[in-house]
Each structure stands twice: as C-alpha cells, then as structure tokens.
Amino acid sequence: MSTTAVDHAPDHSHDHEHDHPHGWRRWLYATNHKDIGTLYLCFALTMLMVGGVLAMGIRAELFQPGLQLMQPEFFNQLTTMHGLIMIFGAIMPAFVGFANWMIPLQIGAADMAFARMNNFSFWLMPPAALLLVTSFLVPGGASAAGWTMYAPLSTQMGPGMDMAIFAVHLMGASSIMGSINIITTVLNMRAPGMTLMKMPMFCWTWLITAYLLIAVMPVLAGAITMTLTDRHFGTSFFNAAGGGDPVMFQHIFWFFGHPEVYIMILPAFGIISHIIPAFARKPLFGYASMVYATAAIAILSFTVWAHHMFATGMPVTGQLFFMYATMLVAIPTAVKVFNWVATMWRGSMSFETPMLFAVGFIFVFTMGGFTGLILAVAPIDIQLQDTYYVVAHFHYVLVAGSLFAMFAGFYYWSPKWTGFMYNELRGKIHFWGSLILFNVTFFPMHFLGLAGMPRRYADYPAQFTDFNMVASIGGLGFGLMQVYFLLAIVIPTVRGGKKAADKPWDGAEGLEWTVPSPAPFHTFEVPPIVK
C-alpha cells in the first residue's frame, strides 16, 4: 500500500520554475504584492519624468512674453497632458505602489486579497499611458481642452480627445480594482489581535481612500462617456443647442474631481503619520483623532464640489453653502497638522532625509491649505478663478503635498524594499534643492494670479515678465533635481550599496514599523495561537 502511494505521488521537481517565474515572466505574470508594488512605483516614476518634460515645455514657453517655441494650441495640449499624466499616471499609481508594498506588511497579511486582479489592475496602466502620450501624434494633436476636459471644448476636439477618454476609462477601471483589493485585504486579512483601531495609520488612510475611489471613479466614467456619445452618437448631454447643459459637465466632473484631490493627499497623510513618530521617537499624538479626521475629510469632500464653479452664475445661496462647506474641511485638516506638530513636540528628533521631507511637507502643504481657504471665499474666488493663484495653490498641495510625501516614503521604506541604504548626503541635496526650487517656481505664481494673469495662455502682457522668468528658472531647476533623484539616488540604491541594518531607523523602544498605532503595548506581539 505504502509503495503504491509513493509510486503515484506527483513529481513536483519540475514545478519550481512554474511557481517562481524568472526574467520577464516574473513581472508580466506578477501576483506577489511586492513585485506589483515595484511595478507601480517604476511606472509612476516614468510617468513623473514624462509629465515633467511637458511642464518644462510649458515653463520654457512662458519664460518671456510673445510666442517663442510653440503655437497656443500646442501649448494647451501640453497643459492638458501634463495634468492628466501627473494625476492619473504619476501620483495615483505611486500611492497604489506604496499600498501594495506596505499594507500586507503592516497588517501581517501574506499578500493582497486578489493577487491576479492586482496584476490586471497594474497592466491596464501602460496601455492607458500609451494612449495618452501617443495622442500627440494623431491628426489635430492631443486634446487641448484642459485636464478637466470641459464641454463644449471637449465635444469639438479631434481624435486626441477620444484617446484621452479611453485612457482615463482604463485608469479608472484600474483604480476601482485596486481599491476593491485594498478594502478586502484590510478588512479581512489583518493579523490576529490587530483591531481596526490598532491598525497603522497608512492602512487607515488607504482604506478610506479606497472607499472614495469606488464612490467617485464611476462618476468620472459617466461624465466622459456622455462626452463620448455627444462627440460621436448625436446625443446632447452638454450641447445647449440640443437642450443639454455644458455646466452640467462641470457639476458631474467636480463631483468626481474634488474627492479626487483628497484621494491624492490622504495616502500622503498616512505616510507622514509614520515618519514623524519614527524620527521624533515617540508614538503618534492623538491616533484616534487622526483616524476620525481622515474619515471626516473624506465625507466632507463630497459636499464641496461646486467651489470650483463660483464663476458659473450659481445662486448666492449655493455659493454660501459651498463656501462654508469648504471652510469646514480646514478643521479636520488642522487637527492632523496639530497632531503631527504635537508628535514632534519635545521628541528626540533627528533629521534624516525622510524626516526632512516630512517636515517640509507639513510646512508647504499648510501653505497650500491656506491659499485653498482663501479661494474658498466666493467673492475672492470670483476674482482669482482661472488665474495663476489657483495654479500656485494646487501645486503647493499636489507637488509639495503628494510628491514630497512620496519622496519621504521612498527614503523611509526603501531600505525595507531593497535591503540597501540610499546615500544620506545625496538625499539631503535632493531635499534642499527640491524645497527651495519648488518655492522659487510656484511662490511667484501667487503674485501673478493676484495681479490677474490668467492660466492656460501661451502669451502674456509685459508686466508679468519678471515673475514668469523667476518661475521658469525655478521650474527648470526643480525638474533637474528630480532627474538627480532618479540617477543619483533611486538607481544606485536599487542596484546595491551599503547594506541596510535590520532596523535602519532604530526607532525608539522598537517602535519602528508599528509607530503609528496607539502606544508601544499595541505592537504585533499577540498571544500565540493555542494549537
């Protein structure tokens, strides 16, 4: 009997290759959360560079008045594609990459819940990126309707607009699948003893972000699908001549678009909530209030969409509602900033690169928040709407907010990911160069906007020349700093270098990976399961 069992036992010796594919198969068929996280991060970094090149084009054209390098139509194509590529191609995929890498590690799960869907949601991104970038090559060029794709402009554009619509559809499908995966993983796969209120902050911010994504991505899909049928199938959703309403597009778009900006900042809050306690060497101040504030921001984000539309002829009652609702968002956001500062208060702080980026984040993000509060005031917004003041505001939030938090997260977690330490001096050069040049680029835009310079124009009157020159020089420098980041930090760190210690940051009392949980006693030390 026993011999037969041995004789008929399947031979697994040749299956090893199948279990762990090598070479390109490892990446194409990736189902491991770390590999997929790495794919997302590499994709996002590539798109960051592409979007950066487009931004350089914009700033080069604006270096002095008059048309230098391009026709206005091409200039507007650059602004459209820069926005779409940076939002859907760089920021969101990067945060999904962080989520894939860190969430299973932080909650003690073996992997993400749906490994193959995880693979599929990544592989929707490259074709979408290809559609976006190659739309420059079709007749009439890429869409020049702005990243918001407002009707009626977007219903008149050439085939580049269709490519943008399909690209956004693919990226939206990817986001929805990624979100389902994150929610399922966090709710069902936590280690024994890890209740929701003991979960690391990054997992919380992503759980809430994932719910936001599932709520708003179908809304965007609806808006661009209606645009598509207006373009090709004779409908009149946004065509006033056929009984439609172009302003309706704005309502539908911003009902997606405002929660979207919180989707791009909440994971950043999570990353910062890990780094500051680690380098202040004490637990996060006010863990529960951080969780509730994050949820409050997410809920309020659905009540403020029309603050993007004060200039559309809204009734005063509507303006007042959206003005006050927008100001309300400042409260939970201020709670978070207060908690970060309170965490640092009397901590034994050290300023390695992740901490520098985290402190830089708080400073510059808070400035972006204040300009947002100013823009929330309807009478002021009507003056500043569509000027460079708005451009300055959202770049302070998205570049110095989302992007700086990602840099902080990379420096903080890359020893964990690669097994190697980055070069600390180069990291500090990257931080100071980025912080200073970012402000040189975007701070003057506040003054340009207050003086009335409209955005999305390839030319401008001579009185705006000086600030534009400063901004263009700063922009070029900031772009070069990110090339430096890629060549001097990312590539050398990934290829090898000084081996990382077991606890690269030597967190106080062994708090390292669990720092954002309520207190030292609530780490992963759960009683052993009795067999």
333 flagged as catalytic: yes
Of the listed 27, 34, 46, 111, which one is catalytic? Answer: 111
121 flagged as catalytic: no
Of the listed 33, 82, 446, 522, which one is catalytic? Answer: 82
175 flagged as catalytic: yes
**Which parts of 85-189 fold into alpha helices (H)?**
92-107, 115-123, 125-134, 153-156, 159-188
Of the listed 79, 135, 174, 205, which one is catalytic? Answer: 174
Of the listed 59, 169, 282, 308, which one is catalytic? Answer: 308
Of 278, 296, 301, 274, nearest in space to 287 by CA: 274
CB 162, CB 231: distance < 8 Å: yes
Spatial distance between the Cα atoms of 384 and 378, rounded to a whole number of angstroms: 10
123 flagged as catalytic: no
CB 200, CB 514: distance < 8 Å: yes
258 flagged as catalytic: yes
Of the listed 80, 135, 154, 175, which one is catalytic? Answer: 175
Gyration radius of the chain over CA positions: 24
User: What is the torsional sign of CA 79, 440, 45, 305?
Assistant: negative
How many alpha carbons lie under 13 Å from residue 345 in its C-beta half-sphere? Answer: 10
455 flagged as catalytic: yes
Spatial distance between the Cα atoms of 286 and 339, rounded to a whole number of angstroms: 6
Of the listed 336, 393, 395, 430, which one is catalytic? Answer: 336
Of the listed 274, 307, 395, 522, which one is catalytic? Answer: 307
Spatial distance between the Cα atoms of 365 and 404, rounded to a whole number of angstroms: 9
236 flagged as catalytic: no
CB 60, CB 69: distance < 8 Å: yes
Spatial distance between the Cα atoms of 55 and 66, rounded to a whole number of angstroms: 18
Of 7, 30, 31, 41, nearest in space to 409 by CA: 41
If you write DSSP's letter for every residue of 439-470 in order, what string do you get? Answer: HHHHHHHHHHHHTTPBSS-S---GGGHHHHHH
Distances (CA, A) of 111 to 106, 298, 325: 11, 27, 39
Q: What are phi and psi of 454, to 5 degrees?
A: -75, 150
Spatial distance between the Cα atoms of 94 and 410, rounded to a whole number of angstroms: 10
308 flagged as catalytic: yes
Spatial distance between the Cα atoms of 29 and 294, rounded to a whole number of angstroms: 35
Of 408, 428, 415, 413, nearest in space to 484 by CA: 428
Instruction: Give residue 35's identity as a one-letter amino acid code.
Output: D
19 flagged as catalytic: no
Of the listed 38, 80, 135, 333, which one is catalytic? Answer: 333
Of the listed 262, 340, 396, 411, which one is catalytic? Answer: 262
82 flagged as catalytic: yes
CB 396, CB 371: distance < 8 Å: yes
CB 210, CB 298: distance < 8 Å: no
CB 181, CB 104: distance < 8 Å: no
Of the listed 251, 426, 455, 456, which one is catalytic? Answer: 455
Helix (H, G, I), strand (E, B), or coil: what is residue 191? coil
Of the listed 169, 198, 231, 258, which one is catalytic? Answer: 258
446 flagged as catalytic: no
111 flagged as catalytic: yes
Spatial distance between the Cα atoms of 412 and 406, rounded to a whole number of angstroms: 10
80 flagged as catalytic: no
Spatial distance between the Cα atoms of 314 and 140, rounded to a whole number of angstroms: 34
Quote the strand ranges of 334-486, DSSP E.
Answer: none
Would you name the residues annotated as active-site residues?
82, 111, 147, 174-175, 258, 260, 262, 273, 307-308, 333, 336, 455
